[in-house]
Chains A and B, each alone.
Chain A
């Protein structure tokens, strides 16, 4: 396995379900990110884990909960989602701090549909 791997690729869930998205990076990076991609909108940063510190976008609802057990693995726990949460959820990694920090490497994403 190389790069950034995300599972599952597709997820359909009801508003009362609990599910988790998984991300694993094989690049030796020390920072991992969750982004939300909706149609005709810029990528929205949700959470960052960098050097074991968590930074979050304060506008992200509490029904999204990240977990980063180590520098290679990242989870996004989902519960009681709303239909407007349907989107492509992208995981990314980078190496900080140095010039390479400006390079994000993305996974293929999880296409989430909330019914």
Chain B
């Protein structure tokens, strides 16, 4: 079983839609959860991080962690064409990072 599982998509939505991106993880001891955004031909950039269950909001982005289900989500409200990118979930165990395969998102104007 992989440490982190992520639906690769691709996902295509109209501008203004609410986007939901999801990952599951295998080990309930994992504590730190992150979302990275990667534009084409660029490296990943840290978008959101959290180290507890519940929601964390930053502008149009909300990161959600459900430790009981071992499920993490990223919600994007009022999606924009500039949100078109690949989104990677990541987990830090205390000494190692595990990444999902990434979900490719396209927001159509």
Instruction: List A contacts of B8 (CB < 8 A).
Output: 40
- How many cross-chain pairs have Cβ atoms below 8 Å apart between A and B? 46
Q: A102-B49, A103-B49 are in contact. Are A109 and B42 (CB under 8 A)?
A: yes
B98 close to chain A: CB less than 8 A: yes
Instruction: Encode B15-50 as 1/0 by CB contact (under 8 A) with A.
Output: 000000000000000001010100001111110010
Q: A102-B92, A103-B49 are in contact. Are A42 and B43 (CB under 8 A)?
A: no
Instruction: List B contacts of A42 (CB < 8 A).
Output: 2, 4, 98-101
C-alpha spacing A107/B42, complex, angstroms: 8
How many residues of chain A are within 8 Å of chain B by beta carbon?
A: 19
Q: A40-B8, A42-B4, A43-B88 are in contact. Are A104 and B46 (CB under 8 A)?
A: yes
28 A–B contact pairs at CB < 8 A? Answer: A6-B43, A40-B8, A42-B2, A42-B98, A42-B99, A42-B100, A42-B101, A43-B44, A43-B88, A43-B97, A45-B96, A45-B97, A90-B43, A90-B44, A101-B92, A102-B32, A102-B51, A104-B46, A104-B90, A104-B97, A106-B36, A106-B43, A106-B45, A107-B43, A108-B41, A108-B43, A109-B43, A111-B41
